Chain A
Amino acid sequence: MAKKRIVSTTINGTQRDFLCEPRQTLLEVLRDTLDMTGTKEGCSNGNCGACTVQLNGRPVVSCLVLAVEVDGATVETIEGVACNGTLHPLQDAFLNNAALQCGICTPGFIMQSKSLLAENPNPSEHDIRFYLAGNLCRCTGYDKIVRAVQDAAGKMSSCCEAKV
């Protein structure tokens, strides 16, 4: 078996060191080694977006990242979105707009939507649908998710203190 590696990374602002095999994905390490099970496993081949996290500020599917690759990197996961027990405007908007049913796709949608609003604070419906095309939801039919993102975008841009 290939030798385990020590990986040093910053996850949600906290320095985390872990041991992993080269063949382990970031998704596996987050869930199985670090017990951060907020990030969900869906298809495990990059199609569904359930495992979306931010790697050095860019949204990626963590099933297609080797854990060894994140040495020295910054990772943001769903666990870092709420602040001291206060939900992020996107999380609030998903609840208020009933933008989830079974919920397994939700962490991925929140992380991807967060990246969208950081890049484009006032997205059109088309912008939202295009940016979220790599996230699949089999429950909602997407319309409520789109409305939730629009709602959050409106609230975040009307409050200059809201952080993306």
Chain B
Amino acid sequence: MRDFDYAAPTTVAEAVQLLQSHKGAARPMAGGTDLIDQVRVGRLTPDLVVDIKKIPELTVLEWSANGLRIGAAVPCYRLYHDPKVTAAYTALTDSAAIIGGIQIQSRASIGGNLCNSGPAADSTPSLIALGAIVVIAGPQGTREVSVDTFCTGPGKNILEPGEFVVELKLPARAAKSGSAYQRFIPRNEMDIAVVGVGVSVTLDAAGQNFVAAKIALGAVAAKPLVAEAAAKALIGQPVSEATIQKAGEAARAIATPIDDMRGTIEFRKHVTGILTARVIQQAVERARGGK
């Protein structure tokens, strides 16, 4: 592997300073499951790897009335091993449980999945559906952005040189809300999404009408998509096959996938419509108290 130096700072300020002083030749590392492989194959050529796992803020997993704070280096398994997180932010734990295999989930973080900005990243549609805010530290201080605008293209995002993600903030969940993430893949695990869909819905007290909805799509465009028209097709409408079908069609309409070994354009569009409807259905069941 390429020669690089290693630092494990214990404060955010120290990490920012290290990243900034190397002017783009330093890379932050959380679980390293993408980074180490990318350095090995020469896709990344850092002079310095900054291990951010020793910074206390980066490993916070904290639940309060305001919502959930997830440090950017928290590995996937900590999310799905936490019954509170699984109950309230189910879409995200759906994602965390299918990123790579168990060994990868011991190390890989949601923050890293977001920052790698792969179009097929399994956790990003869930973060979008759940309304996550990304907390970014950099030379100018700290800023917060909606996760909707974080990814800008394959492997690209809004991070400026010297910046890194500190944590993700997920708002508190409303009563009668449910969320889910599913992906279509030819096998059951250890695969990359052909299409991925994250959904969050809130129903009225009787559980009969959609009050709020957010839907996001993965692997069908250069970056994860916010399916606004699909969510609008649900809001204010009764929970019915017809409503859910319409939302699926609206999601299909915005998909602009590529042809590759995992699926053709036509197939991916078709799956987008069907999978969106299925995931909405699952989110509804969870909002009504099901699993």
Contacts and interface: CB of A to CB of B under 8 A. Distances in A.
B97 to A, nearest CB: 9
B107 interface: yes
A22 B4 contact: yes
Nearest to B191: A133
B188 A45 contact: no
B187 to A, nearest CB: 8
A46 B5 contact: no
B161 interface: no
A112 B32 CA distance: 20
A59 B107 CA distance: 9
B3 A23 contact: yes
A164 interface: no
B10 interface: no
A52 interface: yes
Contact of B2 (A23, A55, A66): A23
A130 B37 CA distance: 24
A134 B36 contact: no
B190 interface: yes
B6 A22 contact: yes
Given A22-B49, A60-B106, A61-B103, A68 B37 contact: no
B190 A59 contact: no
Contact of A3 (B5, B51, B53, B103): B5
B102 interface: yes
Contact of B37 (A2, A45, A55, A112): A45
B33 interface: yes
A63 to B, nearest CB: 8
Contact of A44 (B6, B8, B39, B40): B40
A2 B100 contact: no
Contacts of B53: 69
A64 B101 contact: no
B6 A60 contact: no
Interface in B57-86: 77
A66 B103 contact: no
B1 to A, nearest CB: 4
A37 interface: no
A20 to B, nearest CB: 10
Interface string A47-67: 101001001001111011110
Nearest to B97: A130
A55 B6 contact: no
22 contacts: A1-B3, A2-B3, A5-B6, A22-B4, A23-B4, A23-B39, A25-B36, A44-B40, A45-B40, A46-B104, A55-B106, A59-B102, A60-B106, A64-B107, A66-B36, A68-B8, A69-B8, A69-B32, A129-B188, A134-B102, A134-B189, A134-B190
In the A-B complex, the 8 residue pairs with the smallest Cβ-Cβ separation, listed nearest first, are A134-B101, A22-B6, A58-B106, A133-B189, A2-B5, A23-B1, A61-B103, A45-B37
Interface of B: 1-6, 8, 31-33, 36-37, 39-41, 49, 51, 53, 77, 100-104, 106-107, 188-190
